[in-house]
Chain A
Amino acid sequence: MEEALLRAVLFGTPILLASLGALLSERGGVVNLGVEGMMALSALAAFAAALEAGPVWGVLCGVGVGSLLGLFLGVFAVFLRANQFVAGLALAALGLGASGLLGKRYEGTPLPDPLPEGVLAGLALILALGLHLLLSRTRYGLYLRSVGENPKAADLFGVSVDGVRYLALALGGGMIGLAGAYLSLAYRPSWTDGMTSGLGWVAIALVILAGWQPLRAVLGAYFFGLLFFLQFRLQGSVPIPSEAFAAMPYLLVILVLALSGRARAPRALGQPFDRGR
């Protein structure tokens, strides 16, 4: 039982981190469907940097690459006012493909000094609480929520809509990068192509499931973590094909989303903002 809970937290941590990152930009009205690709690229960057310069540099590099990718999405979603869904999907595909290509030579190399998972799991919890406070208690949080609900009004109030959104994408990208670093430095200290195995998509679903609330995302992430744990544990002990088990968490994501009812999304979610339109 205790083991189940511990594993649930450790499985849930990358989902939580990535989910917080996506949640941050979505509260500002920018949908980020690129999470999966961003995680993969930052996992690779973190791993490479950790091999060269040690795990701390690995974490920093993962976070940095995540932030840059967030800003890269911002170029399309904010500056060019492109369709955010298409831009995000493209980023997901690009990130997955590029990480596979660039990561070939790290494939199979072990990491000599992995990070303890517990440290990052604790950090994820602190970040969730921090994000909650950021949203409810700070000037930036108020601006961010305003921009996500009604960018036109925020603009009239004198808030820089684009500035707020870039910062949200950079900060959120950093958290997604941290999720990637957790995968390749702590959770499975190595690099394999496709090691994100769909966690980015689960994270995006979790944002909706959590109703865009960071603290609820914590519970949701651990719940998914528990599902993943059960999937591993039950495999082999029950006469069901393992593929069915592998698909179970994703099926449950769909089921939970369908059953959880509709939380109110930020009203301007997915809408590019153009003053005077």
Chain B
Amino acid sequence: MLKLENITKRFGPVVANHRVSLEVARGEVLALLGENGAGKTTLVSILYGLYAPDEGRILLEGKEVRIPSPKAAQRLGIALVPQHPELIEAHTVAENLALGLDLPLAFSRRALVRRLAALLEGHPLGVDLEAPVARLSAGEKQRVELLRALLNRPRVLVLDEPTSVLTPKEVEGLFQEIRRLKALGLAVIFISHKLEEVLAIADRIAVLRAGEKVGEVWCQEADKDLLVRLMVGRSLAPPPKVPPPRKEVVLEVEDLLVPRHGFPVQGVSFALRAGEVLGIAGVAGSGQAELVQALAGLRPHQGRVRFLGKPWPRDPMSLFRQGVAHIPEERSMGVVGGMSVAENLALRTYPRFVRRGLLDYRAMEMEAGGLIQRYGIRTPSPRTPVRFLSGGNVQKVILARELQGGARLLLAMHPTYGLDVGATEEVHGRILELVQGGAAVLLVSEDLDEILALSHRVAALYHGRFVGPVPREEADRERLGRMMTEGRV
């Protein structure tokens, strides 16, 4: 059905794709597996007419085609569900879908909704056509994206990391839909860096690394080890053992209440020892964000909090000085994208670089150079704006900055969200190093495997109340799931 031959794409000196060849047949799901920055999205952008390839050709049903624009891709029957929903938030679902249709010059809203309803008749993915997109959940938004892609009856459907915004249940729904489309004869290209998903849905798996195709296997012949080796270029080390916690109590929280339109955190109490990781799971919006923000000094709270036996300092700067590090829930909150790596690294410690009232940039960049090396931050230079870095490297900048002061407590929220296998391993390594050094870690994550891998004790937040904690040995995915959704141990 669709064939890519020797596609090469360069951005200046960077080679994003080097002689990549792929093929996908009618009724087949081809998975494109690779780490962040491996060139998956570039390849898709070429296929969808967003970039022109420098070399190579694209064949559709045996005929060579040129795809100069997204419109041309749509005409050829190639549809894309982009990685982040590209919807217009202010519009209704119907108006968003209408953009994918051939519209008459003028129309009434009612006629539009009727026409769309007719087109979507009998489709298993129902959505309210008249709802404004801004009110939909991430999963619903993606459903709208998928419906839009299907409106033009495509022959090839490209899904770019579609599961990154979905809950496990929604992922199952998406997979069912993919199987249905496959049965209808569509060729599906499924992009991901998650091994389990690729193994669950694909017929064939092509692995990209650093812009090149490094392997292609049938799904039956593939296993996780093989895929990791292809994708990362080495086997992963087994996760390091977490030593048992020490006696000393680092953080004591009693009856913590956080007000914000009501009380998203309602009387939470726990104690955290030196060298201990307490993992906190929870359905999104159960009070995790407010809990971490309150402890990080970003939100007022009531209740008693003691740190190393002293009252809790309430503002972020004193917190940092006394040894509290914070990885915020979104990376964009943790850095200033337009500022350089060196400047971001100095956001906590800049007073040290003041000479006669001015910042000594040479000293700042020297220091940054050291941190860049120690944390393995991949950046062209300390002066590069942070927004040009990949997610994993941004997270390393945040870690490097926060851990500078000799942290005694780390408040980590979603520390590896959206990171690929290699970067996740590095971040976990840093956190464990810290724990071995005797720091305490409060780990909030939606990734249950991450919580189970790192924590000594696990708890869940359920409607703002603490469920647990229970020792790690007594917890597994199922139990943690029950704690999250039913609120009982």
By a beta-carbon cutoff of 8 Å, the part of chain A in contact with chain B is 136-140, 142-143, 145-146, 149-150, 152-159, 264, 266-267, 275-276
Q: Residue-by-residue, is B326-362 near A (CB-CB < 8 Å gives 1, otherwise 0)?
A: 0000000000000000000000000000000000000
Please name all residues of chain A whose beta carbon is closer than 8 Å to the beta carbon of B50 when the two chains form the complex. Answer: 156, 275-276
Sample of 7 A–B contacts (CB below 8 Å) = A136-B109, A139-B104, A139-B105, A142-B95, A150-B86, A154-B88, A276-B45
Is B373 on the interface with A (CB-CB < 8 A)? no
Contact A157 B70 (CB under 8 A): yes
Given A145-B95, A158-B71, 15 more A-B residue pairs with CB atoms under 8 Å apart are A137-B108, A139-B104, A142-B99, A142-B103, A145-B91, A149-B89, A150-B86, A156-B50, A156-B70, A158-B70, A264-B90, A267-B89, A275-B50, A276-B45, A276-B50
A138 pairs with B70, CB closer than 8 A: no
Complex CA–CA separation, A146 to B133 (angstroms): 13
- B82 nearest in chain A by CB position: A156
- B404: interface (CB < 8 Å): no
Task: Choose among B50, B51, B88, B109 the residue with the greatest number of A CB atoms under 10 Å from its CB.
Answer: B88
Q: In the complex, what residues of A have CB within 8 A of residue B6's CB?
A: none
Which residues of the partner chain A approach B69 to less than 8 Å between Cβ atoms? 158
Given A142-B95, A142-B103, A152–B86 Cβ distance below 8 Å? Answer: yes
Tell whether B80 is near chain A: CB-to-CB under 8 Å: yes
Smallest Cβ distance from B277 to chain A, in angstroms?
Answer: 39
* Chain A residue contacts of B91, Cβ below 8 A: 142, 145-146, 149
Q: A153, B88: Cβ atoms under 8 Å?
A: yes
Determine how close the nearest CB of chain A comes to the CB of B42; give it in whole angstroms. 10
Our pick among A139, A145, A153 for the contact of B87 (Cβ within 8 Å) is A153
Residues of the A chain whose Cβ atoms lie less than 8 Å from the Cβ of B70: 155-158
| 6 nearest A-B pairs in the assembled complex, by CB-CB distance | A158-B71, A153-B86, A157-B99, A139-B103, A138-B106, A149-B88
Number of A-B contacts (CB under 8 A): 69
A137 touching B107 by the CB < 8 A rule? yes
Q: How far is the CA of A73 from the CA of B71 in the complex (A)?
A: 27
Bound CA–CA A149/B90 (angstroms): 7
Please tell me if the beta carbons of B90 and A142 are within 8 angstroms of each other in the complex: no
Q: Is B100 an interface residue (CB 8 A)?
A: yes
CA separation between A157 and B148, bound complex, in Å? 9
Asked whether B25 is an interface residue with its Cβ less than 8 Å from the other chain, the reply is: no
Contacts of B71 in A (CB 8 A): 158
- Is B419's CB within 8 Å of the partner chain A? no
Q: How far is the CA of A155 from the CA of B105 in the complex (A)?
A: 19
Q: Is the CB of B106 within 8 A of A159?
A: no
Residues of chain B within 8 A (CB-CB) of A150 are 86-89
B74 in the interface (beta carbon within 8 A) = yes
A157 in contact with B100 (CB, 8 Å): yes
Closest chain B CB from A23 CB (angstroms): 16
Taking a contact as CB atoms under 8 Å apart, the answer to whether B89 and A142 are in contact is: no
- The closest CB in chain A to the CB of B71 belongs to A158
Instruction: Report the nearest B residue to A147, measured CB to CB.
Output: B88
Q: Which residue of A lies closest to B49 (CB)?
A: A158
A13 to B99, CA, bound (A): 35
How many angstroms between the C-alpha atoms of A159 and B101 in the bound complex?
11
Instruction: Give min CB distance, A149 to chain B, whole Å.
Output: 5
How far apart sit A146 and B100, CA to CA, in the bound complex (Å)? 12
**CB nearest neighbor in B for A152:** B86
B165 lies within 8 A of chain A by Cβ: no
Report A-chain residues with C-beta under 8 Å of the C-beta of B86. Answer: 150, 152-153, 156
B84 to chain A: closest CB distance in Å?
10
User: Which residues of B lie under 8 Å from residue A142 when comparing CB positions?
Assistant: 91, 95, 98-99, 103
- Across the interface, which residues of B come within 8 angstroms of A154, CB to CB? 88, 99
Which residues of chain B have C-beta atoms less than 8 A from A159's C-beta? 99
Contacts of A136 in B (CB 8 A): 109
In Å, the complex CA distance between A228 and B158 comes to: 59
A159 to B99 alpha-carbon distance, docked (Å): 8
Complex Cα distance A267/B99, Å?
Answer: 18
Most-contacted residue by chain B among A137, A149, A156, A159 (CB, 10 A): A156
Pair A137/B89 contact, Cβ less than 8 Å: no
Distance between A155 CB and nearest chain B CB, rounded to angstroms: 6
Q: Which residues of A contact B107 (CB under 8 A)?
A: 137-139
* A139-B106 contact in complex given A156-B80, A276-B45, C-beta closer than 8 Å: yes
Please indicate which of the listed interface residues B90, B95, B105 has the most CB atoms of chain A within 10 Å of its own CB: B90
CA separation between A276 and B71, bound complex, in Å? 15
> Which listed residue, B48, B99, B106, B108, touches A146 by the CB 8 Å rule?
B99
Q: Chain B residue with minimal CB distance to A141?
A: B106
Contacts of A149 in B (CB 8 A): 88-91
